[in-house]
Amino acid sequence: MSSQVEKAVKNEITEEIRQVADDEALPVESVLRRVAEGHIVIPNNKNRKTNVVGIGKGLKTKINASIGTSTSIADVEMEIKKAQIAEEAGADTLMDLSVGGDIADIRRRVMDSISLPVGTVPLYEAFALAIDKYGAAIDMPEEFLFDIIEQQCEEGVSFMAIHCGINRMTIERLRNQNYRFGGLVSKGGSYLTAWMLHNNKENPLYEHFDRVAAILKKHDVVLSLGNGFRAGAIGDSTDRVQIQELIINCELADTGRKMGCQMMVEGPGHIPIDEIEANIIVQKRMSNEAPFYMLGPITTDIAPGYDHVTAAIGQAISSSFGADFLCYVTPAEHVGLPYPEDVREGVITARIAAHVGDMVKFKDKSRDLAMSKARRDLKWKEQFELAITPDQARDVRSKRGGADEEHCTMCGEFCASKILKGMFDAELTEGCKA
């Protein structure tokens, strides 16, 4: 069977392309063309029915929520709850990044519990199983990697972050710049680097990239080119090894697309706000506008416990400059495994950031203007309907008293809108200018 890219190139409008066009209020021909060009991807494995989500050029910025066990905490029921909370809070996709417990069983149970497209990092399962089976990750046979990728595709995984851009040249760049302030922070990237150095071999995911792309294309799984050497500290942002991996990934994005595989490119991790625009321009330019999956970006290293906030700053800026897909960050980042309440906070914070960026990206402030008028006119029902989190807004108002009043308890009878209500009615028009 043909993939979304191959069908689009043949001018075939699929059900998924039509759904994306409807969801985004775009002409179906526009979505069709961008899928054919590789500017839009639709993670929708043929083996599992999921929500249809379009990611890429001209579409609203999408949010991914990551969950998963660790070797310290492997509670499958909690992971299922986290997945369900992510969907309820408005995430567009979910990644299961489990490395502890029965990884395959956790993944299947998570996928059964939600309707979101689910992504994975197959290296995690491969190395975790290799440790049990062979005694050490570095002793894993390279064929084992391809077996895990195929198995996860057959189970219905919709997109995969695969570290194809790590190769001998990337590692040499790392050596030549005398390592890093923050070291390597990608679990998959670190294990793969150790495997390559120990075995004195090239990365099989790079060396046999055509095989990786062929497996994913067969199931129409989106290949997200993993950012294994992303910066894990502000001092490492936009360094030579990050850019080297990005160059390779952008070349592979072209290769995979020509093979008929849907492709995304990931990046960049920790990055100060003055480098965000440049990173997006470079990625978009070098990849021929492949969808950009933004990891973070975390904009300062000194706020553990509040990294959902440091990321939201970067996410809003990233979205405004053209990033297509944001990986949420939770308050637990850098300090512990996220719990369900962290997942909710992370999703909602990222959704707010995406909206802030999309206002600029699409030059559309209509929803915010509607909220402004509802606040001015003390129309509480309309305010709640326009809010990103209506239940939260209602809950805050009800718990602080005065819920039956026209004003709120912030100003009470000194409410500015109440004081002037009706005095400017003659001047108010729908075309009100700032």
Q: What are the pLDDT digits (tens) for 380-430?
A: 999 999 999 999 999 999 999 876 788 888 998 899 998 888 888 766 655
What local confidence, expressed as pLDDT, does residue 78 receive? Answer: 98
Q: What is the pLDDT of residue 428?
A: 65
Name the pTM for this structure. 0.95
Instruction: Give per-residue pLDDT as tens, 245-282.
Output: 999 999 999 999 999 999 999 999 999 999 999 999 99
CA 157, CA 179: separation in Å to the nearest integer? 34
How many residues does this entry show for the chain? 434
Positions of the chain with pLDDT lower than 70, given as ranges: 403, 426-434
Cα–Cα distance measured from residue 10 to residue 396, given in angstroms and rounded to the nearest whole number: 53
Peptide bond into 268 cis (omega under 30): yes
pLDDT for res 429: 57
3 state SS of 290: coil
Q: Which domains does the chain have, with CATH numbers?
A: 46-51+59-361 (3.20.20.540), 366-420 (no CATH)
Looking at residue 328, its pLDDT comes to: 98
Residue closest to 350 by CA, chosen among 70, 148, 65, 82: 65
Spatial distance between the Cα atoms of 26 and 29, rounded to a whole number of angstroms: 8
In the chain, count H helices and then E strands. 19, 10
Identity of the amino acid at 211: R
- What's the burial of 27, exposed, middle or buried (CB within 10 Å: 0-12/13-18/19+)? exposed
pLDDT confidence of residue 143: 96
Are the C-beta atoms of 275 and 204 separated by less than 8 Å? no
Cα distance between residue 170 and residue 249, in whole Å: 11
- Kindly give the pairing relationship between strand 55-56 and strand 40-41: antiparallel
Ramachandran quadrant class, 63 (left: phi over 0; alpha: psi -120 to 50; beta: rest): beta
Report helix, strand or coil for 149.
helix
Q: Which residues of 130-150 are buried (b: 16+ CB within 10 A; e: fewer)?
A: bbeeeeebbebebebbbebbb
Please name the residue ranges forming H helices in 229-339.
240-258, 276-286, 307-321
CB 330 within 8 A of CB 288: no
- Residue 276 CA to residue 267 CA, distance in Å, equals 10
Bridge partners, residue 56, by sequence = 40
